[in-house]
Structure 1
Amino acid sequence: MRRWFFALFAFAPAVVSAHEIPAPAAIDAEVARVMRDTGSKGLAIAVIDDGKPVHVAAHGVRNAAGDPLQVDTIMYGASLTKAVFAYTVMRQVDAGRFTLDTSLADMLPRPLPSYASADITNRFADWTALDERWRKLTPRIVLTHSTGFANFGFLEPDEKLHFHFDPGSRYAYSGDGLNTLQFAMETGKGIDVGTESARIFNELGMTRTSLIWRGDFAGNLADGWDEQGKVEPHDERSKVRAAGSMDTTIADFAKFAAAFVRGDGLKPSSRAEMVKPQLAITTRSQFPTLQPELPPEQRRKDLAAGIGVVVFEGPQGRGFFKGGHNDTTGNTWVCVEQRKRCVAILSNDVRSEAGFPQLVRFVLGETGVPFDWEYGTQ
């Protein structure tokens, strides 16, 4: 089954769409429509064409006082952090620090389950209940969300991580999987993820992005609105977490998106590895994370895990995307490889998500991005 799946991905026709990106004024008008229809208070958008930002704009407000959302307003990156972390990991792979298939057992000085809470100053997760299958964990397995873990250990009845399936055998989204790799990099390899990500941000001119809270963010900061329209203050995250601690701005994330789609900062082979279909996705939707796999005949054949992103095949050929979400945040980043085009959306109002499919379609045309799988809609 898997061999047939990857063959389909390899030989699917790559059609260059005739769709042209609308003018900035038309994009802004469509954003206004989406915000009106969803009740969203704030939404920022960046459009990349031929590997260059061609439109970056912010709409609405950033807090209950009505201060305007701006392109340099600090917004929560949520799980877009995972894609940035994957890029950071690939930089370390390119530097020869480890490979995608290095066992975490070869990265750590002692067995992962031996690290009890008292051993870890900057607490990540509780691995003490893991069996010997932990030795099968690799960066590739972690970054394709196939560890076998729940999304987070605190969701388990005993608040410890457990294997729900053999590592590498299927897709099931896990934030603590990425946090585990971060722990192995920092504890076993001496690679500080916060420092390495900051180096990347500096290279790309992302001066208002960090995986940990900075005091200078406070002057222009977005609070968030939940589904009921209640305002919640921005969370000042005090620990670097690969799964989702990034603060950024739409202007900064546009620079990352453009650099990524151009392939900047990585060996061509590493960039290709990130957007290659690594593992078939076999569930009806992304959440809940440990749902049963579909029967083979019902599984999507256009969808796979890449490295830190989800890869899809659509009318414009190969694409990839990554979402980000919490109770007051809705983010998405969608790219199509041909013509190096992307849309990145950061919203400080989770209600905006209902308008993302139409907004992305308006800008990029029909791409085949699997929003139905992402949001669990039919």
Structure 2
Amino acid sequence: MPPRFTVRNVLSQSSGLPNWRSNATPLKTYFPPGERFSYSGEGFVWLQRVVEKITGQSLNEVVTRLVFDPLEMKQSSFIWRADFETDYAGPHDAQSAPGKKWRPAKPTSASSLHTTAADYARFLQAVLSGARLNPGTAKQWLDPQVRLRQHCIECLATDAQDADQHVAWGLGWGLEPDAGFFFHWGNNDGFKAFVVGSLADRSAVVVFTNGDNGMAVMPDVINQLMPGDHAAFKWLDRPRNVGGALLDWFRARWHEWVY
């Protein structure tokens, strides 16, 4: 019998599943669930299927009912909506060439969320306050479930430990436990995003970009708004390196996007 994994394993990225199945990495568990970290989009698709089976609703219907509507996230959906046609960001590749906009007809938990910075800021307010969760659940959300001791995102091939990455994973969030931050990043073709928050300071930052080079600016931009030792960027191999005109442009305008 193959190893069984739980919802907690999926949320803490310790299910043992690959990020995405391929000929090289077929869909199976590569290590005992809960043993260590390895990022898996497949795990979240599995969890989506479980939620849809239990509720009898699509993921988008469930999340709209439980999250989007209560938090007034009116511009958020896992499927494309007709009203998005009048106001959306198009993707750009690494050479800044525009690409084709994806208009998903079916929800995919790991990749199809369409939202805005303002809507996601409302979600972050709920994370900071524990809104709509009982206190015990809210605490577990940002409690370390697994500590990362490998310098990799998908860590299926080996259990050899490199060193403490000063990063852990909670229930759905990356954590910088030494500094007290939680974080996550977005990595779709033509779109990159990063979010970081602090429970102690009751503050958070979200940055969305519509270009494949978007992650290159994140360490400098985030440090302007939430200074600190962000171990996540070292783990993601994203050192601070922008500077110059781009950072000056951001410094002059960042207040326009604070919600």
So what's the TM-score if we normalise by structure 2? 0.85
Does residue 138 in structure 1 map to residue 3 in structure 2? no
Structure that is richer in strand per residue? 1
Provide the C-alpha distance between the structure 1 equivalents of 2:98 and 2:194, rounded to a whole number of angstroms. 21
What are the superposed Cα offsets for residues 299-330 of structure 1, whole Å, 9 maximum, x if unpaired? 23x3211111111124xx41110100122111
**5+ residue gaps in structure 1?**
1-130
Residues 285 and 375 of structure 1 are in contact (CA less than 8 Å); yes or no, is this contact kept in structure 2?
no
**5+ residue gaps in structure 2?**
241-259
Paired residue for 2:250?
none
Residues 320 and 369 of structure 1 are in contact (CA less than 8 Å); yes or no, is this contact kept in structure 2?
no
Paired residue for 2:115?
248
Matches within 5 A, 1:56-75: none
RMSD: 2.0
- The partner residue of 2:224 within 358, 362, 369 is 362
Provide the C-alpha distance between the structure 1 equivalents of 2:182 and 2:170, rounded to a whole number of angstroms. 8
Residues 168 and 177 of structure 2 are in contact (CA less than 8 Å); yes or no, is this contact kept in structure 1?
no
Question: Any idea what SS the aligned residue of 1:222 has?
Answer: coil
Provide the C-alpha distance between the structure 2 equivalents of 1:342 and 1:313, rounded to a whole number of angstroms. 16
- Give the letter aligned to residue 338 of structure 1: A
Provide the C-alpha distance between the structure 2 equivalents of 1:356 and 1:294, rounded to a whole number of angstroms. 29
Matches within 5 A, 1:191-340: 192-199=58-65, 200-286=67-153, 288-295=154-161, 298-300=163-165, 302-314=166-178, 317-340=179-202
Provide the C-alpha distance between the structure 2 equivalents of 1:282 and 1:229, rounded to a whole number of angstroms. 35
- Aligned-pair distance for 1:289? 4.2
Provide the C-alpha distance between the structure 2 equivalents of 1:150 and 1:342, rounded to a whole number of angstroms. 30
Question: Any idea what SS the aligned residue of 1:132 has?
Answer: coil
Identity value in percent:
27
- Give the letter aligned to residue 195 of structure 1: E
Provide the C-alpha distance between the structure 2 equivalents of 1:261 and 1:361, rounded to a whole number of angstroms. 20
How many residues are treated as equivalent by the alignment? 239
So what's the TM-score if we normalise by structure 1? 0.60
Residues 319 and 369 of structure 1 are in contact (CA less than 8 Å); yes or no, is this contact kept in structure 2?
no
Residues 283 and 292 of structure 1 are in contact (CA less than 8 Å); yes or no, is this contact kept in structure 2?
no
- Aligned-pair distance for 1:294? 4.2
Paired residue for 2:51?
185
Provide the C-alpha distance between the structure 1 equivalents of 2:229 and 2:132, rounded to a whole number of angstroms. 26
Question: Any idea what SS the aligned residue of 1:370 has?
Answer: helix
| Rg larger for | 1
